[in-house]
Amino acid sequence: MKIYTRSGDQGSTSLFGGGRVSKCDLRIGAYGTLDELNATLGVARSVGVPAQIDEILYLLQNRIFDLGAELANPKAGDREAGLLQDSDVGELELLIDSLEETLPGLKNFILPGGTPGAAALHLARCVCRRAEREIVALSQASAVRDTVIKYVNRTSDLLFVLARVANAAEEVADVAWKPR
């Protein structure tokens, strides 16, 4: 099978389950940004993060792929059960809480940076926030399960904490914001 099909040469693409839409459709933008998030998680893993973080990122990559698959199906938002459940959101919250216990409390805002791994995780967090905005926009035009939005929101929180953990693991201070 060839990688190119030429079927998208006129600016449309196929959805899971059939049908074609413009490549600038809200749905395509939302799951395309999830794909970009997944790629940034791969970059974070490739620049070197502690093994514990690498394991978490691998799991996140798989769940983000699941979310992309759900969003690629316009009928998925109508289902009671998707690939991810509220319990998955709860697991992210427990993980965030556990990791935060290992970190010093924040006394000010921080800027993206520190180690290469932390900087890559901050970039992934920004892409995740954009994916969340695009999914919310899609949810105003089409059915999207609340769990999807919650999961992406918690993922960005987790990426922020993981960036701080990556810095702490290498004994590099978070970069403090110094307002004027």
Query: Distance from CA of residue 100 to its chain's centroid?
Result: 19
Q: Which residues contact 152 (CB under 8 A, 6 or more apart)?
A: 34, 67, 128, 131, 132, 135
The count of other CB atoms within 10 Å of the CB of residue 167 is 23
Residue 3 has a pLDDT of 73
User: Do 180 and 114 contact (CB within 8 A), yes or no?
Assistant: no
Query: What is the token pair recorded at 66?
Result: 């699941």
Residue 121 has a pLDDT of 98
**Cα end-to-end distance, the chain, whole Å:** 58
Domain 13-176 class, CATH top level: mainly alpha
Q: Could you tell me the residue ranges of all domains in the chain?
A: 13-176
Token pair 């929101």 in the structure block, residue: 153
The residues facing 96 across adjacent strands are none
Residue 2 has a pLDDT of 74
Residue 169 has a pLDDT of 96
User: Do 151 and 63 contact (CB within 8 A), yes or no?
Assistant: yes
Residue 28 has a pLDDT of 84
Q: What is the DSSP letter of 123?
A: H
Cα 161 to Cα 18: distance, rounded to the nearest angstrom: 39
Residue 144 has a pLDDT of 93
User: Do 128 and 152 contact (CB within 8 A), yes or no?
Assistant: yes
The residues facing 149 across adjacent strands are none
173 Ramachandran zone, left/alpha/beta (phi>0; psi -120 to 50):
beta
Consecutive sets of 10 residues in the chain, 180 residues long: mean pLDDT of each? Answer: 68 67 76 96 96 97 94 71 85 97 92 96 98 97 94 98 97 92
Query: What is the token pair recorded at 70?
Result: 């759900």
Instruction: Tell me the residue type at 76.
Output: A
Residue 22 has a pLDDT of 56
The count of other CB atoms within 10 Å of the CB of residue 149 is 16
Residue 167: which of 119, 123, 114, 121 has the closest Cα?
114
φ/ψ of residue 13, rounded to 5: -145, 160
